[in-house]
């Protein structure tokens, strides 16, 4: 098996752990919490239906990992720990530089989101806040950490951000041997906004009438974290962004338990 095949397998398996964690979500409770129009028929939640929920993220994950494996080396982006595992090297050396930046970035991202939520609360209706809080309680902690921390980072950083860096470089800097910092910054900004906008469908599901203030909140807080994760991916490696993503969720969960978040 070649290095690239091993790297794909390692990253895909890691991402599938996150995808499989979706099975921990109580779909019946989630559907019951959503605003449903009168007369709408809700299908029974069978094991087959739960398995079907894995198909789309599973396919997207395959494409994301393939894109990253193909293009990341071309633009000098990396997944240091996965690459060390794929090449048979020890993991301790590439792991250590990832931990502290990831933890610091995650703590900063989590605190920033909590503070933003406190500032934004007066702009949101009480029923909107109640719906957000109720929905959040239905998401298991392992799913937040594994799907958010691993799978989403593979989709948004390893795939999308890598493709953006490569595309900007090839379109606007053909004469350069490698992308310069403007390519990375542009890709971070674009992928961060996409990450933020990508959370809007959930808001539309949870809240019957999404207001401009709620849409703004969803986009701002997720885009802000996306910038942190993108910077860590660029400067330290993919695993640092994963650590930060998990840490951010832990900060938010802690704040929720203390009543400082939705």
Residue 38: the pLDDT is 46
Residue 36: the pLDDT is 64
Residue-wise DSSP of 34-84? S---TTPPPPP--HHHHHHTTHHHHHHHHHHHHHHHHHGGGGT---HHHHH
Read off the pLDDT of residues 7-59 as tens digits, 9 standing for 90 and up: 999 999 999 999 999 999 998 888 888 876 545 566 678 888 888 889 999 99
Residue 43: the pLDDT is 67
**Domain spans of the chain, in order of start:** 3-257
Residue 46: the pLDDT is 83
Looking at the chain, list the stretches that DSSP marks H as alpha helix, in order from N- to C-terminal side.
3-20, 27-33, 47-52, 55-71, 80-87, 92-120, 126-137, 141-143, 152-153, 162-172, 181-197, 200-206, 212-235, 238-257
In this structure, the number of other CB atoms found within 10 A of the CB of residue 116 comes to 14
pLDDT at 226 over 50: yes
Residue 47: the pLDDT is 84
Among 12, 132, 115, 6, smallest CA distance to 63 is for: 12
The DSSP call for residue 178 is S
Among 2, 259, 201, 243, smallest CA distance to 101 is for: 243
Cα–Cα distance, 216 to 231 (Å, whole number): 22
Cα–Cα distance, 224 to 109 (Å, whole number): 8
Return mean pLDDT, the chain.
93
Read off the pLDDT of residues 97-149 as tens digits, 9 standing for 90 and up: 999 999 999 999 999 999 999 999 999 999 999 998 999 899 999 999 999 99
Cα–Cα distance, 122 to 51 (Å, whole number): 40
For residue 21, give the H/E element and its range: none
Residue 176: the pLDDT is 86
Among 96, 85, 141, 101, smallest CA distance to 256 is for: 141
């Amino acid at each position: 098996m070649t290095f690239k095949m091993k790297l794909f397998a390692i990253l895909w398996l890691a991402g599938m752990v996150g995808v499989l964690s979706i099975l921990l979500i109580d779909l019946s409770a989630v559907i019951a919490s959503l605003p449903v129009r009168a007369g709408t028929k809700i299908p029974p939640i069978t094991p087959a239906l739960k398995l079907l929920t894995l198909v789309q993220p599973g396919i997207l994950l395959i494409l994301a990992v393939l894109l990253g494996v193909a293009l990341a080396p071309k633009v000098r982006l990396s997944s240091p720990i996965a690459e060390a595992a794929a090449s048979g090297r020890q993991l301790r050396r590439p792991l250590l530089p990832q931990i502290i930046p990831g933890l610091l970035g995650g703590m900063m991202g989590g605190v920033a989101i909590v503070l933003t939520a406190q500032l934004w609360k007066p702009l949101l209706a009480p029923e909107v806040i109640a719906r957000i809080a109720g929905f959040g309680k239905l998401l298991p902690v392992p799913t937040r950490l594994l799907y958010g921390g691993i799978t989403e980072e593979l989709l948004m950083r390893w795939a999308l951000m890598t493709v953006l860096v490569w595309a900007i470089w090839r379109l606007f800097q053909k004469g350069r041997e490698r992308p310069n910092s403007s390519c990375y910054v542009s890709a971070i900004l674009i992928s961060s906004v996409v990450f933020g906008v990508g959370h809007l469908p959930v808001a539309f599901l949870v809240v019957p009438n999404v207001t401009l203030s709620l849409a703004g909140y969803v986009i701002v807080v997720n885009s802000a974290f996306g910038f942190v994760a993108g910077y860590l991916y660029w400067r330290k490696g993919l695993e640092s962004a994963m650590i930060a993503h998990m840490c951010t969720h832990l900060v938010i969960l802690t704040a929720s338990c203390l009543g400082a978040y939705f």
